[in-house]
Amino acid sequence: MDYKLVVSSSPHAHAGLTTPQIMAWVLAALVPAGVMGVVRYGARAAAVMAVCVLACVFCEFLWQKCTGRAVTVGDGSAAVTGLLLAYNLPPTIPYWMAVGGSLFAIVVVKQFYGGLGGNIVNPALAGRAMMLASWPVPMTTWTLDGVSTATPLALMKSGDVSALPSYLDLFLGRTGGCIGESCTLALLIGFAVLLWKDIIKWQVPAVYVAVVAALCTVFGRPAAPLAEILSGGLFLGAIFMATDYTTSPIALKGQIVFAAGCGLLTAVIRTWGGYPEGVSYSILIMNLLVPLIDRATKPRVFGEVKSHAKNR
C-alpha cells in the first residue's frame, strides 16, 4: 500500500503563511493609502508615519530587552501597529505626541498582556483613543493645502451638508482628515491584496460598511448613505482593524456578529455622540465583547452529541 496514515498533533492544516509573511503583506496592502496620504498632505505625513513606525519598533525592542523576553520585532507586528496608528492621526500632530501614542499602544496595550496574540483590544486604535482623550485639540485639527478645514463628518454633524465634497472627491481623498483614512480607492486596493492572499475574509468589511450605510439612513443622518461610508475612517477600520486576528472572533459567524456590532455602534456614535466619528470606539468596544461572541458562536464539534437535561 502506497499511502500511509500519519497520526500527529494538531494543527492538521496550515495556511501556508507565517506571521512575518502575513505582516509583510499587511504592510504592502497599507502602502497605497500611505502614498495617497503623502500626496494629499505632503512630507509631514510621511514624517508622522516614520515616527510612529520607528517608535513602535523601538518600544517593543526595548521593553522585551528590559524584561528578558525574546525579541520579536522581526515579526513585523510592531511596524503594522505603528503604521496603522499613523494612519489614524492628522498630519499636523506633533511628533512627541505620536511617540506617546506609540509607547502606549505597544507597551501598555500589547506588551502588558503578553505581546502578540495576548492583547484584548487593537493597539493602534487604543493608542489613538488615548491620544484623543489626552490631546483633543491637536487630534481634531485638520488642514488641507495649508488651510484649516472641517472634515466631511464634522460637516454632517453640524448639518451643513451643502458644503460636503463630491462623491469623487470623497472616494479619492480630496478632503481633510487623518493620514491614511481619506482615499477609499487606495484602501480598496489594499483590501484586494489581502483578499488575494487570503489573509482576511470579505464578509467582515462588507457587513460593517453595509450596516453603517443602512442604520445611518434609518437614524435620519443628513447625508446620503454613500457619503456616510466614504467619509471618515470607516473603510480603514473595516478592512484593517475589524479583521485583526487577535481581537476579533474566531468563527466566521462570530466575525459577522462582531462586524454588525461595530456598524451599529459606529452609526449610533455618529448620530448621537459628541464626536463626529465612531469607528475607533466601536471597534474597541466590540473587542471587549469578543470572548462572549466566541462563546455564543462556537462551532459544534464534529460528532458531538448535545446533552439533554432530564426532567425530574
Q: What is the 3-state secondary structure (H, E, C) of 224-243?
A: CHHHHHHCCCHHHHHHHHCC
Write the CB contacts of 135 (distance below 8 Å, at least 6 apart in sequence). Answer: 97
Write the CB contacts of 97 (distance below 8 Å, at least 6 apart in sequence). Answer: 131, 135, 138
CATH classification number, 19-296, choose in 3.40.1000, 2.40.30, 1.10.287, 1.10.3430: 1.10.3430
**Helix spans in the chain (H):** 19-41, 43-66, 77-87, 95-103, 123-134, 136-139, 152-158, 167-172, 184-196, 203-218, 225-230, 234-236, 252-272, 279-288, 290-296
Instruction: Name the DSSP letter for residue 66.
Output: H
Query: What Å distances lie between residue 132 and 25, 104, 183, 258, CA to CA?
Result: 29, 13, 22, 24
Q: Burial code of 257-284, b = ≥16 C-beta within 10 A, e = fewer?
A: bbbbbbbbbbbebbbeeeebbbbbbbbb
* Cα-Cα end-to-end distance for the chain: 55
Could you give the dihedral angle defined by the CA atoms of residues 288, 217, 124 and 134, in that order, rounded to the nearest 10 degrees? -90
Nearest Cα to Cα of residue 199 among 239, 161, 160: 239
**36 contacts 183 by C-beta, under 8 angstroms:** yes
Q: How many CB atoms lie under 10 A from the CB of residue 163?
A: 11
Write the CB contacts of 263 (distance below 8 Å, at least 6 apart in sequence). Answer: 207, 208, 209, 210, 211, 212, 215, 282
> Domain coordinates of the chain in residue numbers?
19-296
Write the CB contacts of 158 (distance below 8 Å, at least 6 apart in sequence). Answer: 150
Long-range (24+ apart) CB contacts under 8 A made by 299-307 are 299/251, 299/253
Instruction: Supply the pLDDT for residue 266.
Output: 96
Instruction: Supply the pLDDT for residue 131.
Output: 96
Q: How many degrees, rounded to 5, is the angle at CA 244 between CA 128 and CA 272? A: 50
- Enumerate residue ranges in the chain where pLDDT < 70: 1-15, 145-148, 302-312
**180 contacts 86 by C-beta, under 8 angstroms:** yes
| 279-288 helix and 252-272 helix, angle to the nearest 10 degrees | 140
Instruction: Supply the pLDDT for residue 2.
Output: 57
Residue 153: strand, helix, or coil: helix
The span from the CA of 188 to the CA of 32, in Å, is 9
The span from the CA of 159 to the CA of 157, in Å, is 5
Could you give the dihedral angle defined by the CA atoms of residues 119, 122, 127 and 132, in that order, rounded to the nearest 10 degrees? -140
Instruction: Supply the pLDDT for residue 299.
Output: 79
The span from the CA of 107 to the CA of 185, in Å, is 33
| 43-66 helix and 19-41 helix, angle to the nearest 10 degrees | 150
pTM of the model: 0.90
Cα–chain-centroid distance for residue 244? 7
